[in-house]
Chain A
Amino acid sequence: MRRVVVTGLGAVTPLGIGAEQVWKRLIAGESGIRAIQNFDVTDLPAKIAGQVPQGSKADGKLDLNEWIPPKDQRKMDRFIQLALVAATEAVEDSGWMPEDEEGRCATGVMIGSGIGGLQTIFEGSQQVLEGKIKRLSPFFIPSALINLASGHVSIKYGFKGPNHAVVTACATGVHAIGDAARLIQFGDADVMVAGGSEAAVCPLGIAGFCASRALSTSFNDEPTRASRPWDKDRDGFVMGEGAAVVVLEEYEHAKRRGAKIYAEFAGYGLSGDAYHITAPAEGHEGAFRAMKAALRNGRLNPEDVDYINAHGTSTPLGDDLELQAVERLFGDAARKLAMSSTKSAIGHLLGAAGAIEAVFSILAVRDNVAPPTLNLDEPSQPSVIDRVAHEAQSRRIDVALSNSFGFGGTNASILFRKAA
């Protein structure tokens, strides 16, 4: 089987933009959760979110005009804009700019989103309701479609390989990166630009998740305390927006061109719950099987894993069930394990969550650092697993595993290890 390595990273998150900078802030224990100011939240029970800070690139913030010409911004929903920024960073970081047709045809894109152009659809619907149906923009549909993130990235760089998009709710990011790695393993591509993007911090998005009682509502006055995975006072997730993209590359291809290698893709597993549309199954057995499948795929044993980036959304039910599934799978090996939820710092980026958490797992492997779980003051359930409460830890991390689970009962786990 062909080996796959990571040669580029891009991140647009509530902790700013630029993978290295976001990572630094994450390790320092900073939070990107703030009060929502872009729209009226008076009637919404949840009034906070992880939002990408606005400002110049030089300050690690996002000014879209620095990345995308204004005339093109109008043709794409924010989720596509964020994906394009993250992909630009990742591609430039990798240094892979194919100069011949063969190279372009061997380079593909697989960027997914959980929801896609929600705000665009909302605004289009409003126009229709206001009797302006004939004023609907010709860019309405291409702005809202999920696979247009992959489309725009391919058009920008001329990448003519597989062009694909994943839609599996909050598991999107892991599925995109895992499936993209397989396309390289199977020889469909030599390089894949893969990840996830989400921009659902809008009235319809917040209201929708409020209606399904998924969001935290008790910490509106203390936003940075709201996302508290495994803590006894957790009361739901905090929505975040952003995008993360990685460049995956066949190992020999990367070596030949002297690319910088962050880590190696080391396994991928998928499962379905076949249980409930939003709630995880008993004992999170779907998560158990996804992790087990990833280990089997990577020919690794539980004791080989040093760090887990948990799905850990800060919802009352899910966090402890995931913990139980990890304890059951890892047995005695759980004692040496570090497991944290970086959603405590940036919130839940839905379709981008698995992608940004893959970036964090890759950097944890590179730097031998486990990022912290903020706000874990008192766990609702004790465990032998070190959940890296409050402060990052320096520890040997050869192999990291990242979990993502989505509505509909879809689960995915991915493994990265130090590149030999």
Chain B
Amino acid sequence: MTDTAEITKQVKEIVVEHLGVEESKVTENASFIDDLGADSLDTVELVMAFEEKFGIEIPDDAAEKITTVKDAIDYIVKQKAA
């Protein structure tokens, strides 16, 4: 569960579900707002979903820097490794 591949898979699942986008569009470099149609409230909800799913806390200043799928995966992997 804590390995990067599994985290990547789960992050993508959450993004697909919350933003209602096709899985193929959720590439690692995709930006939530620019590429996946999210607005600022959607990104708040996404971060909350990540917190819930991975049992971590993402402070606001860190959440602001999570703008792409890769940002989210990297942050969560780092938190889980710590």
Q: At the interface with chain A, which of B5-13, B23-31, B44-52?
A: B44-52
Q: Is the CB of A137 within 8 A of B20?
A: no
Contact with B along A126-150 (1 / 0, CB 8 A): 0000000001011100100000000
Q: Is the CB of A135 within 8 A of B20?
A: no
Q: Is the CB of B44 within 8 A of A138?
A: yes
Q: How many residues of B contact A (CB 8 A)?
A: 9
Asked whether any CB of chain A lies closer than 8 Å to the CB of B66, the reply is: no
Docked CA distance A139–B52 (Å): 17
Residue of A nearest to B40 (CB): A138
Please give the distance in Å from B32's CB to the nearest CB on chain A: 13
Looking at chain B's contact residues, is the secondary structure mostly helix, strand, loop, or mixed? Answer: helix
Asked whether any CB of chain B lies closer than 8 Å to the CB of A70, the reply is: yes
Docked CA distance A103–B18 (Å): 34
Q: In the assembled complex, which residues on chain B have CB atoms less than 8 Å from the CB atom of A135?
A: 48, 52
Q: Is the CB of A69 within 8 A of B48?
A: no
Asked whether any CB of chain A lies closer than 8 Å to the CB of B41, the reply is: yes
Q: In the assembled complex, which residues on chain A have CB atoms less than 8 Å from the CB atom of B19?
A: 71
Docked CA distance A120–B45 (Å): 16
Docked CA distance A376–B71 (Å): 66
Q: Is the CB of A139 within 8 A of B20?
A: no
Q: In the assembled complex, which residues on chain B have CB atoms less than 8 Å from the CB atom of A137?
A: 45, 48
Residue of B nearest to A71 (CB): B20
Please list 9 pairs of residues, one from A and one from B, whose beta carbons are closer than 8 Å in the complex, sorted by A's number: A70-B20, A71-B17, A71-B19, A71-B20, A135-B52, A137-B45, A138-B44, A138-B48, A139-B41
B residues neighboring A (CB under 8 Å): 17-20, 41, 44-45, 48, 52
A residues neighboring B (CB under 8 Å): 69-72, 75, 135, 137-139, 142
